[in-house]
Amino acid sequence: MKKIAVIGAGSWGTALAVMLEQYGHDVTLWARDQKAVEEMKKTRENKQYLPGVLLGEKLQITTDQKEAVEEKEIVISAVPSRAVRETMINFSPFFEQGVIIVNAAKGLEQESLLRLSEVIKQCVYHCHVCVLSGPSHAEEVGRYIPTACVIASEEEDIAKMIQKEFMNPNFRLYTNSDVIGVEIGAALKNIMALAAGMSDGLGFGDNTKAALMTRGIAEMTRLGIAMGGKAETFAGLSGIGDLIVTCTSMHSRNRRAGILLGEGKSLT
């Protein structure tokens, strides 16, 4: 059993917290909204972001930053990409020396175009950083629907430890040392999902979407290699796997946004 903090009580953070608590870990979920925390404590459900999923009785929920991460061996960062830097700076005084931070967000920092693991390292000097990625809708993980993901780290022993602690009969993890490829695949597939949604919104068919996805993974791979990633990473769960699930599922917010744009709605 590990002491784990999950920073961010959106759908993905909540799903991970529920899963890890269910399989025996001591888990604390941090949310910034006190009203939302009180509601989750009362109803044992995150009705705003993950309705219908029961929050285990042992899952602790708080808005207190120090309480959330103090003495925690593993911290999962599940805040949106735009909030990673500010969140890490705010929490950094409370992290344990040598803490393992698992980034579960997907994207790049808009202003700097840095990968999120790079942002975390800039803000928390004394940490080990891993990246959790792959085809993983929170709505399914929270309901224990079988899922496979990647845990990427430049430190093999850290990746294997997270793999061992997080993996269970319904959640399989594969380790990968190509942090660049995993993060770039996770960020770029969202762009292709917007395009796939636009294709659907315009009334195009399966042929169109298949062509778009196939050429999309080729472009993603070329850019990823140019940035220092490995081609084989894009053929795996964090590349083609995440691309498939994001371009084809109505759980995907990017695809849903693309559909509305294709139907003629404004970006606003």
- Active-site residue list: 189
- Output the DSSP codes for 197-262: HHHHHTT--HHHHHHHHHHHHHHHHHHHHHTT--HHHHTSIIIIIHHHHHHH-TT-HHHHHHHHHH
Query: In sequence order, what are the residues at sequence separation of 6 or more whose Cβ sits closer than 8 angstroms to the Cβ of residue 222?
Result: none
SS3 content of the chain, % helix, strand, coil (to 5): 50, 20, 30
Contact 220, 231 (CB under 8 A): no
Query: In sequence order, what are the residues at sequence separation of 6 or more whose Cβ sits closer than 8 angstroms to the Cβ of residue 113?
Result: none
Position 264, amino acid = G
Q: Quick count: other Cβ atoms within 10 Å of Cβ 70?
A: 14
d(CA 174, CA 159): 9
